[in-house]
Amino acid sequence: MSDPSNQTVLTITLLGTGSPLPDPNRAGPATLVSGAGEHHLVDAGRGVLMRLAAAGVGPGMITSVLLTHLHSDHLTDLNDVITTRWVMGFPAEPLVIAGPPGTKEVVDHLLASLAHDISYRIAHHEDLVEPPAVEVVEVGPGTDGPGEVPVPGTVAITCEATDHKPVEPSVAYRFDLDGASVVVAGDTVPCEGLDRLAAGAGALVHTVLRKDLIAGLPIQRFQDTCDYHSSPEEAAGTAARAGVGTLVFTHYVPAHPPGEGEPWRELARPHFDGPIEVGDDLHRVEVAAPSAGSDGGA
Ligand SMILES: [Zn+2]
Ligand SMILES: [Zn+2]
């Protein structure tokens, strides 16, 4: 009798499935990929620490933070991750943040904006003598393949460029652990980099926007968003080309009431044969190595 606890799996937790639009039911963009006792946080949108708490992961348990791009909705709460990990750590391990070029400048400015708070806390707590320890690594595609993402842990992480122009650069991340694999794409239109990175992955987490609803809105600023996001149909096309196991949607624009995501699946279905997860915040998907079989979700 096989013991399921021996299966190597990566677990995806959709922490925040919202977008820039404030939503009482959806935190901002953030996805957790866990495996081998590690927790890698992809993006840090609105409310990320609340959702991490609900998932049983404290700020000190985060192995790395990986930013897909520098749009504000994907990093609004990075300051909360930095500060709370620092204040709640005894002492806190350095926080490693990876992201495309520009990330170091953003983090430096974030730390500068926290300078008053940092000085108050150091003045007040005798055992708090150093400011938050943060290490930034800027990443991008390699010269002839995915780029390495040198963060702590045993899960192998690589990245490729995505296409979210004029937001440049932007990247997607791939996580590999003993045959189990997960790719998390940020905002992007279909592109070669994502096709390459996602090839054969057990699961692809993809942000989606309903162009059938947004394109007709009489507000130019909403219409503008159609040209740098993927529709569910396009995300499904990417999943099919790459031959991924399970397609996981997140970052719904416009957001639907929780539990009413079926129309997204129906739009995608003609373009992808595999399981399509349309989860709300805190939805989990477990991804096993192919030999052990793949579970579509939980
Ligand atoms: Zn974006
Ligand atoms: Zn976004």
- Residue 65: φ, ψ to 5°: -115, 130
Q: Which two tokens stand for residue 260?
A: 């009413």
- The answer to whether residue 298 scores a pLDDT higher than 60 is no
**Structural domain 9-291, CATH architecture:** 4-Layer Sandwich (3.60)
Q: What mean pLDDT is reported for the chain?
A: 94
Question: Does 10 have pLDDT greater than 70?
Answer: yes
Q: Under a CB-based contact definition with an 8 Å cutoff, are residues 149 and 129 in contact? A: no
Q: In whole angstroms, give the CA distance from residue 30 to residue 154.
A: 21
From the CA of 125, how far away is ligand 1's center (Å)? Answer: 38
| Strands laid side by side in the 30-35 sheet | 134-138, 95-99, 64-66, 38-42, 30-35, 9-16, 284-288
**Helix, coil or strand: residue 258:** coil
Residues with CB in 5 Å of ion ligand 1: 71, 187
Any idea what DSSP says for residue 26?
A: B
State in Å: Cα 224 to ligand 2 middle. 13
- Looking at the CA of 166, name the nearest ligand: 1
pTM for this one? Answer: 0.94
pLDDT at 91: 74
**For the segment 64-84, what is each residue's pLDDT rounded down to a tens digit?**
999 999 999 999 999 999 999
Q: Which ligand is nearest to the CA of 165?
A: 1
- Taking alpha carbons only, the member of 184, 171, 178, 105 closest to residue 141 is 171
Which ligand is in closest contact with the Cα of 19? 2
The single residue of 73, 80, 117, 295 carrying the catalytic annotation is 73
Q: Which residue has the tokens 């963060």?
A: 151
Q: Please write the tens of the pLDDT for every residue from 223-277.
A: 888 889 999 999 999 999 999 999 999 999 999 999 999 999 999 999 999 999 9
Residue pair 200/215 in contact (Cβ under 8 Å)? The answer is: no
Nearest ligand to the CA of 167 is 1
What digits encode the pLDDT tens for the residues 129-178? 999 999 999 999 998 899 999 999 999 999 999 999 999 999 999 999 99
For residue 1, name the pLDDT band (cuts at 50, 70, 90): very low
Domain range annotation of the chain: 9-291
Separation of 228 CA from ligand 1 center, angstroms? 8
Q: What is the whole-number distance in angstroms between the Cα of residue 91 and the centre of ligand 2?
A: 33
187 Cα to the center of ligand 2, angstroms? 6
How many whole angstroms from 51 Cα to the centroid of ligand 1?
20
Rounded to a whole number, what is the distance in angstroms from the first to the last CA of the chain?
22
Centre of ligand 2 to C-alpha 97, Å, is: 18
77 is catalytic: no
